[in-house]
Amino acid sequence: MDVTPVRVRRFRAVVYGYYRKHRRDFPWRHTTDPYRILVSEVMLQQTQADRVVVKYPDFLKRFPTVGSLARARTRDVLAAWQGLGYNRRAVAL
């Protein structure tokens, strides 16, 4: 099947239509802050969105900037991350 501009437009229309009808409202969809988006992306790796929704605001309250996270002790970051699993993600973040 050839990729043509018409097929691309149709595909986009289907995807965007589905999103408009079924989208879920998440806090990370209301920001353009790169740090907040990065935190959400790392949290969402192999973790259900419903679990991230609970932890995301508290994590950002505790570490509101990349600087505050960089200065934090590993044990404090892991304590804030608890319940999300795969703690290596928190350490890498």
Give the whole-angstrom CA distance, residue 58 versus residue 27: 12
Active-site residue flag, 41 = yes
9, 16, 17, 41: the active-site residue? 41
Give the whole-angstrom CA distance, residue 52 versus residue 58: 10
Classified as helix, coil or strand, 32 is coil
The per-type count for the chain, helices as H runs and strands as E runs, is: 6, 0
Classified as helix, coil or strand, 83 is coil
Q: Looking at the annotation, which residues are catalytic?
A: 41
